[in-house]
Amino acid sequence: MSSPAPQIWTIRRVLDWTRARFEKEAIDSARLTAELLLAHTLTTQRVKLYMDLDRPLVADELSAFRALIQRRLSGEPTQYLVGHREFYGRRFAVDARVLIPRPETELLVEAVLRGLPKDAPRRVLDLCTGSGCIAVSVAKERPLAELIATDLSPDALQVAKANAEALGVSDRVRFIEGDLLGPLANGARFDAIVSNPPYIRTAELGSLQREVQREPRLALDGGEDGLDLVRRIVEGALAFLEPGGRLALEIGDEEGDAVKALLARAGYHEVAIEQDYARLDRLALALAPL
């Protein structure tokens, strides 16, 4: 008897098999994840997979794709596997050195942009910049703005600098290593200060999704009540804001009342808490007194 013909792993078959495996293992967005990993393996775009569904994969492609599947099943985030994340309409490089940008943080960018005219120079400070997604996005949207971005992690700053260079704003975004406002010169003043600081309670870190636990703890751990860094920013930012300058913070969904009280006690004006797409508290906004 002749041996059975070997199975041919076409793009269609590979995607169907991977989606089913991811669904069985409760991987979020199973089909999308399969497409992203396969497109990365084949160095093509997701849409082009569907233009060539019957193309067989060669041995090296199958081997590389299987390795990505195993890494994803082990809990490694998809964004780290493919090396990028879309944010505010642009592609940002990300890896295990930085927090993965979330859609909710785009709302923080929009809140800052509301107070920055397009046709006038402004100075903006981004604290805990991570991948640089906030600072770079603001620089792209406001071509006359000058930005400073700080982060305690030198590894994160390497990623942020690369993103600023790739997106053409490295001449207007200055990155400084240091703890929040600490590395800034005395007398520095900004029209806006923005931050997506760590705001998860330390006790809750162990219950996060395993993918989130792969992200830098430094970018997640907000201390016992989640407000360690938020509190320091609120207390210190007034000395660096121009009169009427805006402070914009991303916060945890149960922290709105506490942060609002912190801002009011510190002397900020027009304090407001705004919600995200899920109608959960997500942004804290306030103005420095005139």
CA 131 to chain centroid, in Å, comes to 7
**Cα separation, 198 vs 278, whole angstroms:** 20
Residue 6 is predicted with a pLDDT of: 60
Cα-Cα-Cα-Cα torsion 251, 257, 260, 262, nearest 10 degrees, comes to: -90
Inter-CA distances, 12 with 18, 27, 30, 226, Å: 10, 19, 15, 45
Residue 241 is predicted with a pLDDT of: 97
Homologous superfamily of domain range 98-287: Vaccinia Virus protein VP39 (3.40.50.150)
Matching residue, tokens 């979330």: 102
Q: At residue 191, what are phi and psi to the nearest 5 degrees?
A: -80, -25
> Regarding beta strands 90-93 and 84-87, do their DSSP bridges make them parallel or antiparallel, or are they unpaired?
antiparallel
**Cα separation, 113 vs 118, whole angstroms:** 9
- pTM above threshold 0.85: yes
At a CB cut-off of 8 Å and minimum separation 6, what does 136 contact?
A: 90, 92, 160, 163, 164, 167, 169, 173
Cα-based angle 219, 248, 123 (whole degrees, multiple of 5): 100
Residue ranges of domains in the chain = 11-74, 98-287
Q: What is the pLDDT along the chain (290 residues), one digit of tens a residue?
A: 344 446 789 999 999 999 999 999 999 899 999 999 999 999 999 999 999 999 999 999 999 999 999 999 999 999 999 999 999 999 999 999 999 999 999 999 999 999 999 999 999 999 999 999 999 999 999 999 999 999 999 999 999 999 999 999 999 999 999 999 999 988 899 999 999 999 999 999 999 999 999 999 999 999 999 999 999 999 999 999 999 999 999 999 999 999 999 999 999 999 999 999 999 999 999 999 99
Matching residue, tokens 């600072």: 135
**Cα separation, 91 vs 148, whole angstroms:** 21
Neighbours of 214 (CB within 10 A): 15
Amino acid found at 63: S
Which strand ranges, in their side-by-side order, compose the sheet holding 123-127? 173-177, 146-151, 123-127, 190-195, 241-250, 281-287, 269-275
**Cα separation, 106 vs 139, whole angstroms:** 14
